[in-house]
Each structure stands twice: as C-alpha cells, then as structure tokens.
A and B are shown apart, each in its own frame.
Chain A
C-alpha cells in the first residue's frame, strides 16, 4: 500500500534561514509526488511536482524538492525563509495504480520567527 510520512508536525525557523520539510513515501510503482501549501482558511495550492525526468524540481515561491529513489524521499527546501512562508505544507503521492487518487501526508506547520 502507498503511504506518505512527513517528519515533524511543526517546524520553526528564523527569517532568512534554510527551510527543510521532510517527506518519505512508500510506493510499489514509480510515483508522482507533490508538495502543496495551505495558508489559513484557504484551499491547497500546488508548490511543485515530480512526475518523471529531472529529480530536482523547482516550484513557486523559491521552493524546490529533490526526488531520491534510493531513500524514498522527496524533501522540500527553500534557501531563505520569508515571513509569508508561514503555512501548512502537505506532501502527497499519486500511486500509479490509482490514477485519480492522491494520498496526503499528515502535514507540517511551518512557523517563521522574526
């Protein structure tokens, strides 16, 4: 069965510091992987996705993620945190066997300290 694990339900960094949000997945077939962001009282917005090809994926707002098959990881990073990055972040996987379903991780709340 496919699953997604996000390590750390809450991450706090200082403004200007590196952001690292961890995501590990389990999938028996090559997965599609996604990172979504949710600001308070809003829907989810796609940050970036990995389907095939280049394993380093760049997204919006300066975020990027690297697909590491050997580590079954898809960690999200941003070199320099901004106050506006404070939000909930969800990693998600779309199993190849279920075209229409995506499985979300439990989420990581990112806080930014001034």
Chain B
C-alpha cells in the first residue's frame, strides 16, 4: 500500500465549531507532516511528527492542534478557526533513515481536505 489517505475530502465549518482532519498511511513511514495550501501557492509546512513525537511546529496558531496517536495515524484538530484558514490541508509521510544522507527521502502526499470556514 503506497497511499496516504485523508478524510474528509471536504469540510465546511463555522468559526465556533470543533472538527478534526484525519490522515492515515500504511507504508511504515515514521515521519508525518501537515501542510496548508492556499490557491495558486505552494504548500506551507505546519507540523512534522517524527517517531510519533512533534519535531517541528512552524509557529502555527493554537487553534490548530496536531495529534499522532500511532505511527500510521495523524490528526489535526480544529477549533475557533477564522475564514482566512480556509485552504487545502495536505498530509504527507516519509521514511527517515539512520544516516543523514538517507534520511527523509521523498514525501508521499495525500489528496488533501478542502476546508471552508464560514
């Protein structure tokens, strides 16, 4: 299985709602990522989990809360979002190695969740 799956595909939420995005991979990857992508822009890194521990937080507002329950699952909990948070949220995974030059090869991306905040 060489796929990263994301649910839901589309999500519409109000500013007072609490919702969660889910990402799953069964490639044995131990690094997982959340990206935010606005229209006509490249993906912006939000969080990186390595071996189920948060290793990078790119100064993301606390209304976004990531969680990595196990090596195959990555969640993004959303609360009190703003309309400007509307975007495509992409999950990715990659396989870290033991040596620097073999570490973290290409990232495999999921199809994304299209989020609209009203």
Check if A28 is an interface residue, CB within 8 A of chain B: no
Least Cβ–Cβ distance between B26 and chain A, in angstroms: 16
The segment from A36-44, A62-70, A74-82 that touches chain B is A36-44
Q: Which chain A residues lie closer than 8 Å to B106 at the CB level?
A: 34, 46, 49
Residues 62-100 of B at the A interface (beta carbon under 8 Å) = 90, 92, 94, 96, 100
Q: How far is the CA of A36 from the CA of B106 in the complex (A)?
A: 10
When C-beta atoms are compared, the residue in chain B nearest to A105 turns out to be B42
Check if B17 is an interface residue, CB within 8 A of chain A: no
B55's partner among A34, A96, A100, A107 (CB-CB below 8 A) is A100
Interface size class of A (residues with CB under 8 A): 20 to 34
When C-beta atoms are compared, the residue in chain B nearest to A106 turns out to be B42
When C-beta atoms are compared, the residue in chain A nearest to B112 turns out to be A43
Least Cβ–Cβ distance between B48 and chain A, in angstroms: 5
Chain A binding surface SS class: loop
Q: Which chain B residues lie closer than 8 Å to A44 at the CB level?
A: 43, 90, 92, 109
Least Cβ–Cβ distance between A57 and chain B, in angstroms: 12
Least Cβ–Cβ distance between B15 and chain A, in angstroms: 24
A101 and B42 contact, Cβ closer than 8 Å, known pairs A43-B110, A46-B106, A94-B104: no
Check if B103 is an interface residue, CB within 8 A of chain A: yes
Instruction: Check A100–B48 contact: CB distance below 8 A.
Output: yes
Instruction: Check A42–B112 contact: CB distance below 8 A.
Output: yes
**B interface footprint on A77-104 (CB within 8 Å = 1, 0 otherwise):** 0000000000000100010100111101
Instruction: Check B45–A101 contact: CB distance below 8 A.
Output: yes
Check if B20 is an interface residue, CB within 8 A of chain A: no
Check if B57 is an interface residue, CB within 8 A of chain A: no
Check if B107 is an interface residue, CB within 8 A of chain A: yes
Instruction: Check B90–A43 contact: CB distance below 8 A.
Output: yes
Q: How far is the CA of A81 from the CA of B42 in the complex (A)?
A: 23
Taking A34-B106, A41-B114 as given, write out 8 further A-B residue pairs in contact, using a Cβ cutoff of 8 Å, ordered by the A residue number: A41-B112, A43-B4, A49-B105, A51-B105, A96-B100, A100-B31, A100-B55, A100-B94
